[in-house]
Amino acid sequence: METLSPRMPKVPPDFPRGVKLLHDPVRNKGTAFSPEERTLLGLRGLLPPRQQSQDLQVRRVMENVRGKTTDLERYIFLVSLQDRNETLFYRVVVDHLDEIMPIIYTPTVGQACVRYGHNFRRPRGMFLSAEDRGSVGDILMNWPHEDVRIIVVTDGERILGLGDQGANGMGIPVGKLALYSACAGIHPTKCLPITLDVGTDNEELLQDPLYIGLQRRRMRGAAYEEFLEEFVEAVMERFPRAVVQLEDFATANAFHLLDKYRGRVASFDDDIQGTGAVALAGIYSALRITEQPLTEQRFLFLGAGEAGIGIGDLIVAALMDEGMDEAEARKRCWFVDSRGLVESTRTNLADHKLPYAHEHAPLTDLEEAVRTLKPTGLIGVSGVPQTFTQGVVTALGELNERPIVFALSNPTSKAECTARQAYTWTNGRAVFASGSPFDPVDHGGRTFVPGQGNNAYIFPGVGLGAIAADAREVTDEMFFLAAKTLASMVSEHDLAIGRIYPSLQMIREVSKRIAVVVAETAYERGLARAPRPDDLDTAIVKLMFDPHQYPPYV
């Protein structure tokens, strides 16, 4: 008879045992359960007899991942792993971030959303539908984890550059929260992905028998506003300490909801503020290469939605921080949308575009806008592929010794140009960044490693800092400071190979440093509800979930 070690802790009465434990992704260790644990927890005979370390489990996972023939198959395999053994899943992500992040998030998550209903296996997160009006608070009680600290919510209307994906957009909150756990160490049980299914105007989904959401037109107007209000009130009641990240709402709703709720609940919009911060960090790094001050820059944006305006607003804040007045700072940012240059004679401009509607003659051609406005940097957030043509990039290169070219649209298929095109058309002089990853490019005897302006450098750290301080509000200042912190971590080696962001392998350190700055700001501005620890840096590290070892039991 096997003797149990006296050091083995007692098992709580409500702790799952046997098959139930193996079906619990938070507590399951698979073949890593020790012989003593197998006896104590009723697992003998339910697992192969040989105990295998987490290292061996990771090796098996990576062998399977690399054996798949497509990234979508790899995505499905990894999500299945997340469903059965979350600690192992996050160990794999953390240890192989460069390889795994493009699979669990952009660009592959775009394909996963398009195919979500057809590949559906097991639900993750919560789906709150228009038919649940009046019952949202009761439905939130069904979530099994009490201490939710971060919620990512979408209504699926503007998924990446793919448009209205309805309930299929759940892949985005799930993916974002996977990055919160992997990149900032927020425990998976404290994360809640939510999709607000208010219908869809996507004709293909309305006709697709395998679509998982409501097959009805989108709810609009007062009914939509009331549903969102009920949702926010229910979240504040059920999870009063949660930070709410708004994700992939249509542009008008995104700005409106951010303005409406940011003072009532700790919330932010990653498409506006996170994108703005990661782009500003890239600009700071790019200027170390061009050796020019920010105050001498002029930026031309292709796209005037959430991402573009978010970046523009943060650039304006940065210029004002350097002593420029707001009116002059705004004139350093020009926008081209689907109708041409955003300028003062245009009628029916959306409210968020009005601060950037400068006096200028109408222009409808991007290359003409480049030659006329003479920008130092070109920022693409249009979601329209190949709009940075050779003529456009060449024109920018003729105006600048080191032209800044940011093709930030996601997924890869929507990028305004590729890294190879940017380097080739400028003879290797471009300072390039993209939203989705591109492989290194050999040109002119040099190897360029293009930087990826991935919001994962920003939002996990901001969320972690807000959680650490139990912040009542997430402010624009926090994103500005996050951008400066990220930029400060770019090394001279990074810049020498053309990379304007640090290696992804540093991302947990990046998130920790950003969290410290965000929490400090919350304390300094009187926005923190948690007592300030003596050593904030150490306190934040202690908050971070480390997937490199299984707990005895949780």
**Tens-place pLDDT, residues 15-31:** 999 999 999 999 999 99
Q: With 90 as the cut, is the pLDDT of residue 44 above it?
A: yes
pLDDT at residue 553, rounded to an integer: 64
pLDDT of residue 9: 63
**Where in the chain do CATH 3.40.50.720 domains reside?**
270-554
CATH 3.40.50.10380 domain residues, the chain: 103-265
Phi and psi of 337, rounded to 5°? Answer: -115, -165
Average pLDDT score over residue span 50-78: 97
Q: Token pair for residue 26? A: 């938070």
Closest CA to 277 of 310, 303, 308: 310
Q: Find all residues with CB under 8 Å of 158, minimum gap 6, and list them.
A: 164, 248, 249, 250, 251, 254, 271, 306
Q: What is the rounded average pLDDT of the residues 435-454?
A: 94
Per-residue tokens: 138? 């009761």
Catalytic positions are: 105, 176
What pLDDT does 554 receive? 47
Q: What is the pLDDT of residue 12?
A: 81
pLDDT in tens, 449-468: 999 999 999 999 999 999 99
Mean pLDDT within 218-236: 98
Question: What are the φ/ψ torsions at residue 249 (nearest 5 degrees)?
Answer: -85, 155
Q: Which residues pair with 382 in a beta bridge?
A: none
Q: Does domain 103-265 have CATH number 3.40.718.10?
A: no
Q: Which residues pair with 407 in a beta bridge?
A: 380, 434
**462-481 mean pLDDT:** 98
- Report the pLDDT averaged over residues 156-169: 94
* Three-state secondary-structure class, residue 237: helix
549 band by pLDDT with thresholds 50, 70 and 90: confident
pLDDT of residue 7: 58
Can you tell me the mean pLDDT for 199-219?
98
CA angle (126 as vertex; 124, 127 as ends), nearest 5: 115
Two structure tokens written together for 332:
């350093």
Check whether 409 has a pLDDT greater than 50. yes
How many Cβ atoms are within 10 Å of 72's Cβ, its own excluded?
17
What does the pLDDT read at residue 160? 87
The torsion of the CA quartet 394, 399, 400, 403, rounded to 10 degrees, works out to -40
| pLDDT at residue 395 greater than cutoff 60 | yes
Output the pLDDT for position 4. 45
- Confidence label for 3 from pLDDT (cuts 50, 70 and 90): very low
Residue 376 CB coordination number (10 Å): 22
Q: Looking at the predicted structure, is the pLDDT value of residue 6 above 70? A: no
Q: What is the pLDDT of residue 8?
A: 60
Mean pLDDT of 482-497: 97
The pLDDT assigned to 373 comes to 98
Give the DSSP per-residue string, 491-520: -HHHHHTT--S--GGGHHHHHHHHHHHHHH
Which pair of tokens denotes residue 490?
A: 């770019």
CA atoms within 13 A on the CB side of 500: 28
Does domain 1-51 match CATH 1.20.1370.30? Answer: yes
- Give the Å distances, CA to CA, from 271 to 161, 302, 318, 455: 12, 16, 19, 9
Q: Which CATH number fits domain 270-554: 3.60.15.10, 3.40.50.20, 3.40.50.720, 3.30.230.10?
A: 3.40.50.720
CB-based contact 90:182 (threshold 8 Å) = yes
pLDDT, tens only, 277-306: 999 999 999 999 999 999 999 999 999 999
Residue type, position 261, single letter: Y
Average pLDDT of the residues of the chain: 95
Q: Does 519 score more than 50 pLDDT?
A: yes
Token digits of residue 62? 């990576």
Q: What percent of the chain has pLDDT over 70?
A: 98
> Contact at 8 Å (CB) between 159 and 213?
no
| 159: nearest Cα among 127, 210, 195, 118 | 195
Residue 429 has pLDDT above 50, yes or no: yes
Lookup: tokens for 329: 């700072």
DSSP string, 410-473: SSGGG-SS-HHHHHHHTTT--EEEESS----EEETTEEE--EE--GGGTHHHHHHHHHHHTBS-
pLDDT digit string (tens) for 95-146? 999 999 999 998 999 999 999 999 999 999 999 999 999 999 999 999 999 9
Handedness of CA 219, 222, 227, 228 (dihedral sign): positive
Q: Where in the chain is the domain with CATH 1.20.1370.30?
A: 1-51
Alpha-carbon span 77 to 72, nearest angstrom: 9
